[in-house]
Amino acid sequence: MKRSGLLVAILLAALTVKADEGMWLLKELSSESVARMKELGFIFPADQLYDEDNPSLKDAVVIFGGGCTGVAVSDQGLIFTNHHCGYGAIQKLSEVEHDYLKDGFVAKLRSDELPADGLTVSFLRSMTDVTERIMPHVPSALGEIERENLIDSLTTALMEEYENDPFTSVRIIPFYSGNKYYMVLYDLFRDVRLVTAPPSSVGKFGGDTDNWMWPRHTGDFSVFRVYAGKDNRPADYSGENVPYKPKYVVSVSLKGVTDGDYAMTIGYPGSTQRYMSSWGIRQRIESENKPRIEVRGAKQDIWWDAMTKNDTIRIKYANKYAGSSNYWKNSMGMNEALSNLGVLPEKEKLEARLTEWINGSPVRRAGYGNTLATLEDAYTGSGDLALYITYFIEVFNNGIELIRFANTILQFDSDGTEEEKQAFIIDRFIEAYKNYEPALDRKALPVLMKLYAERVPEQYHPDIYQKVKEEFGGDYEQYADWLFANSRFTSLEDLLELLKSADTQILTQDPAMELALSTADTGYELSEQIMPAYEKMLKGEREFMAALMEMDADKIFYPDANFTQRMSYGTVSGYQPRDAVWYNYYTTSQGILEKQKPGDPEFNVQEYILAAIRSGDFGRYAGPEGVMRINVLSNNDITGGNSGSPVLNGNAELVGLAFDGNWESLSGDILFEPEMQRVISVDIRYVLYMIDKVMGASHLIDELKLVRK
């Protein structure tokens, strides 16, 4: 998940790389890392991991959508990823009459595969170091904001040659706290089709209750196919397109894994703050996680109540609810884990060691003497503002949906051509309103506005609060009734009619726009007030990384995750969460039978699936003891964005799909704890069993390159 620029995490210090810690760039993989991988059981040729001129493993691992990973498993463009990664596309294709979320989906023929409008799959083309094309043009005397703006201009110029190519995605990304820059190119495929999705009773088994938990019994997978033009190049959707032939396809292992086996993930981890200071961690706990937990909890209670009572609302809000609740629970787990693992004292020890090192030399004092003080002042001086900003973002940006619609209207060009207007409407509104329930937003608005008023000082209340006080006696329910009765933004039909004739003045008089403009003004004010602290954070971050690498010059540093392709290596392993408790490294189908609850929205399983499991007819997909293994643990280093990442054995054969972490290690974005941190993956044999034996899609199994030994 992207972090808000207002609350950017600070890359502050580094710890000795220990055990199997690290999300490594394949292009920068060191001989030391390869040696460690071989020690753990890696036997695949290391030079076939990353190669821009010849087919290599990097060519099989894709960005799926905007924030997940997938893997190419057939020479016909078949992609395996998580169910929750495909969830948005499945939801968009679902209706009450064709409820693919509830019932699942199987395309028996290629012609039955469903185009997933708006879904993209990106294959990595190349990574080029462009540091020397940027940094020599950045004067050291610039202030941090000026420096960032100049770098933005320089990187924009470097990307200009690709701006008119709709099938090339380009990003220039900072690494090592802005001390290195890579230009990353992707082949962007826009014709992606749903092939198979299990029912949510499989793909989302356990719901929020089991999310981030072990033991787990979730079949978190879905199958899509990438289509290309007849030249095997990316193309817009067309009935004439053909399945894409990837440069490299991963083989699928039927052998499974055992305790201590080598395990490797390759994927696109989104964001970590492994080198955050103790002051940054405190702000994360108090000013970000806690308010996020409170606001999302209130909103989700309203949504969930409606979703469990109405199938239409359930389908509309399924993807939005899943996205909101995932990081709601993550925030709770992170705060608990940070406390239990004693992360703050460890960070303070590191800062003390750094202070001693800096003070040991006049040269170091001249270069870094103010670095820690700058960071401490930036965080401690902005804690309250960061708290108010989180409440603001969660209530007004992420909570009240009508505000988002109104803000989008501000980008509408009423003087544009009819073609431009229509394209804007289709892109921004049609799908959004399809998944919007005004009555539900009406329920959420007064609850969230009241919560904001109680938690944030009046000086940071949008002006609309004065209107609520003067015209509605401070009654948020009355205000909500009035707003939703009088705004034309609550109906797509009314909004489109309004856009045909309304000028800016008429639009801004709508109650929804009045609310949005009022909150926008407060957002700008909060942003301006925190900007000086943000600038200090940027300065401290950059200086401290340089100091750290100088102090520990003999250590290997890996950059924080930034949604670029990374690999991690480790082993299959259970763990001990607390005294006298040991968790095995795998779960079986018996756990599904034990957990399933008829009628329960999280644990209900259709009878035909239960009957298949009870029969014990698992065939070649069974584990060595004759049972079906469902989920597997390994100690790989991953984070959000890695969802859907292939879990590979020492031969680089697919043994699972990573989909979650464990509760005890939810501090992992800040600290890797090898004794506790585990990746939860779905055993690929369970995926194949569901596709073949339960869903009757054996034709897909025929596309795979299966390895039995």
Instruction: Render pLDDT for 194-215 as a digit per residue (tens, 0 to 9).
Output: 999 999 999 999 999 999 999 9
Q: Which of 504, 521, 547 is the last residue of a domain?
A: 547
Q: Is the pLDDT of residue 8 over 80?
A: no
Residues 112 and 227 in one domain: yes
Average pLDDT value for the chain = 92
CA 651 to chain centre: 28
Long-range contacts of 507-515 (CB under 8 A, 24+ apart): 507/409, 510/406, 511/482, 511/483, 511/486, 511/487, 512/402, 512/403, 512/405, 512/406, 512/483, 512/487, 513/406, 513/409, 513/489, 514/464, 514/467, 515/400, 515/402, 515/403, 515/406, 515/462, 515/464, 515/483
What one-letter code names the amino acid at 530? I
Strand partners, 225: 78, 193
Helices 383-392, 438-455: crossing angle, 10 deg rounding = 160
Residues 457 and 518 in one domain: yes
Residues 617 and 682 in one domain: yes
Q: What percent of the chain has pLDDT over 70?
A: 95
Q: Which of 527, 547, 567 is the last residue of a domain?
A: 547
User: What is the C-alpha to C-alpha distance for residues 75 and 625, in angstroms, rounded to an integer?
Assistant: 33
Residues 469 and 600 in one domain: no
Q: Is the pLDDT of residue 77 over 80?
A: yes
Tell me, what's the pLDDT at 412?
A: 65
Q: Is residue 207 part of a domain?
A: yes
Strand partners, 633: 680
> Cβ contacts of residue 591 below 8 Å, gap of 6+?
215, 217, 630
In 3D, which of 449, 441, 439 has the Cα closest to residue 406? Answer: 441
Tokens of 72: 């190419």
Residues 247 and 367 in one domain: no
What is the rounded average pLDDT of the residues 453-479?
A: 97
Tell me, what's the pLDDT at 556?
A: 81
Q: How many domains does the chain have?
A: 2
Phi/psi of residue 345, nearest 5 degrees: -60, -35
Question: pLDDT tens digits for 221-254?
Answer: 999 999 999 999 999 999 999 999 999 999 999 9
Q: Is the pLDDT of residue 84 over 80?
A: yes
Q: Is residue 140 part of a domain?
A: no
Tell me, what's the pLDDT at 502?
A: 59
Q: Which of 514, 547, 580 is the last residue of a domain?
A: 547
Range(s) of the domain holding residue 230: 11-120+190-273+556-622+632-707
Strand partners, 196: 106, 223
The mean-pLDDT minimum among 457-466, 525-534, 545-554, 676-685 falls in 545-554
Question: pLDDT tens digits for 555-574?
Answer: 888 889 999 999 999 999 99
Left, alpha or beta for 83 (phi > 0: left; psi -120 to 50: alpha)? alpha
Q: Is residue 6 part of a domain?
A: no
Q: Is the pLDDT of residue 66 over 50?
A: yes
**CATH, residue 65:** 2.40.10.120
> Using an 8 Å Cβ cutoff, are 645 and 681 in contact?
no
Q: Is residue 530 part of a domain?
A: yes
Tell me, what's the pLDDT at 1?
A: 33
> Using an 8 Å Cβ cutoff, are 250 and 60 in contact?
yes
User: What is the C-alpha to C-alpha distance for residues 644 and 241, in angstroms, rounded to an integer?
Assistant: 25
Residues 584 and 664 in one domain: yes
Q: How confident is the model at residue 503 (pLDDT cuts 50, 70, 90)?
A: low
Residues identified as active-site? 84, 220, 643
Residues 525 and 572 in one domain: no
* Angstrom distances, CA of residue 263 to CA of 38, 540, 637, 654: 11, 37, 11, 10
Q: Is residue 242 part of a domain?
A: yes
What is the rounded average pLDDT of the residues 277-284?
A: 93
> Cβ contacts of residue 428 below 8 Å, gap of 6+?
408, 411
Tell me, what's the pLDDT at 509?
A: 85
3-state secondary structure of 237: coil
Residues 244 and 359 in one domain: no
Q: Is residue 135 part of a domain?
A: no
CA angle at residue 642 from 217 to 253, to 5 degrees? 60
Question: pLDDT tens digits for 373-423?
Answer: 999 999 999 999 999 999 999 999 999 999 988 888 776 655 566 676 666
Strand partners, 581: 578
Phi/psi of residue 607, nearest 5 degrees: -60, -35
Residues 518 and 641 in one domain: no
3-state secondary structure of 588: strand
Q: Is the pLDDT of residue 5 over 50?
A: no
In 3D, which of 322, 154, 313 has the Cα closest to residue 660? Answer: 322
Distance between first and last Cα of the chain: 38
Q: Is residue 300 part of a domain?
A: yes
Tokens of 424: 């804007």
User: What is the C-alpha to C-alpha distance for residues 263 and 642, in angstroms, rounded to an integer?
Assistant: 14
Tell me, what's the pLDDT at 101?
A: 96
Rg, Å, the chain Cα set: 26
What one-letter code names the amino acid at 587? T
CA 479 to chain centre: 35
* Angstrom distances, CA of residue 519 to CA of 400, 440, 441, 702: 11, 20, 17, 55
In 3D, which of 427, 424, 403, 404 has the Cα closest to residue 414? Answer: 424
Q: Is the pLDDT of residue 264 over 80?
A: yes
> Using an 8 Å Cβ cutoff, are 263 and 636 in contact?
yes
Taking the CA atoms of residue 651, residue 666, residue 584 and residue 679 in that order, the dihedral angle to the nearest 10 degrees is: -20
Residues 84 and 19 in one domain: yes
Q: Is residue 494 part of a domain?
A: yes
Residues 574 and 543 in one domain: no
DSSP 624: T
CA angle at residue 199 from 198 to 204, to 5 degrees? 95
Residues 361 and 509 in one domain: yes
